[in-house]
Structure 1
Amino acid sequence: MISEKDFIASNYISSIENGNFQWSAPSNIALVKYWGKKDKQIPANPSISFTLNNCKTITKMAFAKKVNDGNFSFDLLFEGKPKEDFKPKIQKFFERIFEYCPYLKDFHFTIDTENTFPHSSGIASSASGMAALAMNIMSLEKVLNPVMTDEYFYQKASLLARLGSGSACRSVKGQVVVWGEHNEIAGSSNLFGVEFFGIHENFKNFQDTILLVDKGEKQVSSTVGHDLMFGHPFAEKRFDQAHENLSKIKAILENGDLEGFLKIVESEALTLHAMMMTSMPYFILMKPNTLEIINKIWKFRNETQTPVCFTLDAGANVHVLYPQNVKEKVLEFIKKELVEYCQNGQYICDEIGHGSISI
């Protein structure tokens, strides 16, 4: 069984003075949610997600050799401009991954990052951002250790991304990714995400239209929310349910059962928010317009028999999921009936993607 110790870098067989890499990494949307983390960003239950295509972070990392003075050295730019308030998060990330990447103190880094989706659009950028940075770091390690395998490269990139933001480990590869140990998923691990293969044609090219209900900052951070699962009266039942639902959705994704997919995905979204509403302290991240959209989707689906459903992250925005063959019909419905519930009428059209890409 693979352990964390297998990813500690040592014995570099090559060296480099300076250079740069550039990677894009997408956001992802969980179908079976994880809520609750243990030490070192280990999930309390397994999850499975669609990797997105259009909502992504593009990060360029330049590096130059320096004297190892025992400190991390980096400049951080967002869309080409210095972003000092992001630096503490990167500093913390470097501290977390240093035991796996001891070469980090040998270089000065210039990290320039941008998102393809609007800043403060209500789309969490931590998953895509940390995944893109992890890919760049692993590209540097690949230069220092050119004999590493592709499997090791992607597993370690996912592990590093996880230490920056848990769900970032699901943004390294696509199209569907499982994170967390599950007895029916070969190779599944709490340490990194693994690709899920064998997807039925019904789920290839699946669409995700993200309705931006509320672009403001969440009243409760995901980190705080995860911590509230420990001591939660329904936590153990929820963790068991996630394992069961992952078993069910595994079969669904393989056999193409769209109706079963809709039920599991919507139930998972509502269960996630039920956990928030029943924690102590309790909180509600959905907005009135979130509920309006959900009810409109249910009404549309019942009246037209169109295979469309919603899911939610830890926020108010609604992800509308549907097969590509009903795209025109669903987008017409969204424009006619759902856009009015979006802040400034904003929504983003996305679809299943293929993970991180070297640019």
Structure 2
Amino acid sequence: MNTSEFKFQTSDKKVENLSVTWQTPSNIALVKYWGKSEPQIPKNASISFTLNNCHTTTKIEFTKSQSMPQAEFELFFEGKKKDDFKPKIAKFFKRVQEYCPYVLDYKMTISSENSFPHSSGIASSASGMSAIAMCLMSLEKELNSNLTDEYINKKASFLARLGSGSASRSIEGPLVVWGNHPEIENSSDLLGVKFPYKIHPIFENYQDTILLVDKGEKQVSSTVGHNLMHNHPYAESRFIQANENLKKLSEILQNGDIKAFINLVESEALTLHAMMLTSNPYFILMKPNTLEIINKIWEYREENNSNICFTLDAGANVHVLYPDSEKEDINEFIKSKLADFCQKNQYICDSVGFGAKPL
């Protein structure tokens, strides 16, 4: 693995103070990764839709100071000091200082907010870490004006991965692959790359309505879940299956076989949770209402010859996926039949998006 291209080269100007704000989206994996090795290297490749409305907005104020042995920062989440988030971000800065030594030269005030509930199975660490990575790259661009936009996105994805694996897929969109895969050009374990082939029109402007079955914090974090794959009896078979599914999905996205898309995406979601059910210690992140929703989706699809389907992240919430052409009917179905299974009837209407943007 060659990481030398991401090392900070030279600074052609001094920057005393800088304030930057980025809005970066969450993403939803269609082919899942579950299991990794250090430093944040996936055991199989994955592909995700970048979302549009589920995002984190992060402002970092950089103030030049004496060089320090470790990154110095204050953290505010939704207006309140959040010291319990600090260890994860401190670990991230420690990992990236080799590539961004300037983090030791500034005091940072990080202010962040989500457009969705934190820790509820929408990838908040993906949007949060990718937003910090983009802010760091804004500072790097000020220090070295020769950086291209392509390099900035590439390095931001590389850095974001060191905070949260799936964050590598939140820099660009609408479809991003993370993990080295023989069928995907330029794919890498070190960063996410845009899906390099032309997709069928049916998958453009795809819709994702996220049903908030449980807005509380998950009982088992993704980090713990990934670690349980190390001695998992089915781990090796799963990694092979995921890479084969990514090859199949690449063809489906290009040829527009939406029935095959539905089958593969739902199978991937259930396989992810099967890995949790069969690890030791075992755990269940689905809730009774998750299963109620899945069954209602299957009934609706059968009765209406619809192309609705679901996927799940590492949590209880259900992502309802469907083509833009069915938006009106499916929104009505969600409102009348599925909202009752959500906490306080809450759900988020989203669609595929195009990645990070400066504010």
Whether TM-score is above 0.5 comes out as yes
**Helix, strand or coil for the counterpart of 2:186?**
coil
Are 2:328 and 1:328 aligned? yes
Match of 1:21 in 2: 20
> Is the Cα contact below 8 Å between 2:24 and 2:56 reproduced in 1?
yes
> Is the Cα contact below 8 Å between 1:12 and 1:145 reproduced in 2?
yes
How far residue 139 of structure 1 moved from its aligned partner, in angstroms, is 0.7
Relative to 1, partners in 2 of residues 1:118 and 1:271: Cα closer, same or farther, differing over 3 Å?
closer
Amino acid at match of 2:164: S
Match of 2:308 in 1: 308
Instruction: Give runs of aligned pairs for residues 187-198 of structure 1, distance below 5 A.
Output: 187-197=186-196, 198=198
Match of 1:298 in 2: 298
Are 2:238 and 1:250 aligned? no
> Is the Cα contact below 8 Å between 1:122 and 1:216 reproduced in 2?
no
Match of 1:162 in 2: 161
Are 2:263 and 1:263 aligned? yes
Cα distance in 2 between the residues matched to 1:225 and 1:120: 14
Cα distance in 1 between the residues matched to 2:152 and 2:105: 20
How far residue 99 of structure 1 moved from its aligned partner, in angstroms, is 0.7
**Helix, strand or coil for the counterpart of 2:321?**
strand
Match of 1:185 in 2: 184
How far residue 10 of structure 1 moved from its aligned partner, in angstroms, is 2.6
Q: Which runs of 5+ in 1 are unaligned?
A: none
Which stretch of structure 1 is more off in the superposition, 144-153 or 168-177?
144-153
Instruction: Give runs of aligned pairs for residues 118-267 of structure 1, distance below 5 A.
Output: 118-119=117-118, 122-197=121-196, 198-267=198-267
> Is the Cα contact below 8 Å between 2:20 and 2:59 reproduced in 1?
yes
Match of 2:274 in 1: 274
Amino acid at match of 1:317: N
Amino acid at match of 1:175: P
Amino acid at match of 1:78: F
Amino acid at match of 1:207: Q
How far residue 220 of structure 1 moved from its aligned partner, in angstroms, is 1.1
Are 2:59 and 1:45 aligned? no
**Helix, strand or coil for the counterpart of 1:108?**
strand
TM-score normalized with structure 1 length: 0.97
Which stretch of structure 1 is more off in the superposition, 300-309 or 115-124?
115-124
How far residue 231 of structure 1 moved from its aligned partner, in angstroms, is 1.6
How far residue 125 of structure 1 moved from its aligned partner, in angstroms, is 1.1
- Percent identical among aligned pairs is 63
How far residue 88 of structure 1 moved from its aligned partner, in angstroms, is 1.7
> Is the Cα contact below 8 Å between 2:168 and 2:178 reproduced in 1?
yes
Which stretch of structure 1 is more off in the superposition, 180-189 or 213-222?
213-222
Relative to 1, partners in 2 of residues 1:120 and 1:267: Cα closer, same or farther, differing over 3 Å?
closer
Instruction: Give runs of aligned pairs for residues 46-85 of structure 1, distance below 5 A.
Output: 46-85=45-84
Cα distance in 2 between the residues matched to 1:106 and 1:120: 31
Q: Deviations over 1:247-268 (max 9, x none)?
A: 1100111111111110010000
**Helix, strand or coil for the counterpart of 2:236?**
helix
Q: Which runs of 5+ in 2 are unaligned?
A: none
Match of 1:355 in 2: 355
TM-score normalized with structure 2 length: 0.97
Amino acid at match of 1:263: N
How far residue 79 of structure 1 moved from its aligned partner, in angstroms, is 2.2
How far residue 70 of structure 1 moved from its aligned partner, in angstroms, is 2.2
**Helix, strand or coil for the counterpart of 2:333?**
helix
> Is the Cα contact below 8 Å between 2:273 and 2:314 reproduced in 1?
yes
How far residue 112 of structure 1 moved from its aligned partner, in angstroms, is 0.9
How far residue 120 of structure 1 moved from its aligned partner, in angstroms, is 5.8
**Helix, strand or coil for the counterpart of 2:39?**
helix
Q: How many residues align?
A: 358
Q: Deviations over 1:220-269 (max 9, x none)?
A: 11111101111211111111111110011001111111111100100000
Cα distance in 1 between the residues matched to 2:67 and 2:226: 36
Cα distance in 2 between the residues matched to 1:317 and 1:79: 22
Q: Deviations over 1:8-42 (max 9, x none)?
A: 11322222111111100000000000000101100
Cα distance in 1 between the residues matched to 2:2 and 2:223: 25
Relative to 1, partners in 2 of residues 1:269 and 1:113: Cα closer, same or farther, differing over 3 Å?
same
Cα distance in 2 between the residues matched to 1:174 and 1:124: 15
> Is the Cα contact below 8 Å between 2:214 and 2:342 reproduced in 1?
yes
Relative to 1, partners in 2 of residues 1:22 and 1:99: Cα closer, same or farther, differing over 3 Å?
same
Amino acid at match of 1:262: I
**Helix, strand or coil for the counterpart of 1:40?**
coil
Q: Deviations over 1:295-339 (max 9, x none)?
A: 110111011001000000011110000011100100111111111
Relative to 1, partners in 2 of residues 1:221 and 1:110: Cα closer, same or farther, differing over 3 Å?
same
How far residue 121 of structure 1 moved from its aligned partner, in angstroms, is 5.3
